[in-house]
Amino acid sequence: MRNLLLCLALLTFLVSCKTEQLVLTPTYNKGGYTFKVYKSMHLAAQDSVYVGGNVFDVASKGLLEGAVVKYGCAYADNKQGNFSFKTKPFSVGYSLVSRYIGCRDIETTPVVFQAGDSVHINFYVAQDDRPLIHCDN
């Protein structure tokens, strides 16, 4: 009985130490994004969609200040690595796009949001290996 309790305690400890891995939706470059949609009665009453999240460097996992995120005609620039904006729902799908100088753009697949959606998206951008200025004669 004592061995059973010891094994059960050890198994519980090992299961609780499981690390959570980041699962990115891959894009056409080395970066990616995570995406969750929540429903809000308050936003539905206002016929609005809230989009917010963070922009990270994929290599260092650090926040990137100054990135721009765009959805349809709405965009937000971030001051400390995070962004948020409210917009009206569109009837056609638009991609969410994150841009940061010196990094490749991250673009989601086209998404149509409903009134009342609250979207949390984290972008993970990779450094661009192409030169910023290309001068050929």
Does 15 fall in a domain? no
β-pairing, 117-125 vs 49-57, is parallel
Does 103 fall in a domain? yes
What's the structural domain count of the chain? Answer: 1
User: Which residues touch 23 (CB under 8 Å, ≥6 apart)?
Assistant: 34
Does 136 fall in a domain? no
CATH number of residue 69's parent domain: 2.60.40.1120
Does 120 fall in a domain? yes
| Residue-range definition of the domain harbouring residue 86 | 20-125
Does 99 fall in a domain? yes
β-pairing, 74-77 vs 68-71, is antiparallel
pTM of the entire predicted model: 0.76
Does 10 fall in a domain? no
Ramachandran sector of residue 132 (left: φ over 0; alpha: ψ -120 to 50; beta: rest): alpha
Q: What is the pLDDT of residues 28-80, one digit of tens each?
A: 778 899 989 999 888 888 888 999 999 999 889 899 998 999 988 888 887 78
Q: What is the pLDDT of residues 80-115, one digit of tens each?
A: 878 998 988 888 889 999 999 888 999 999 999 999
Does 31 fall in a domain? yes
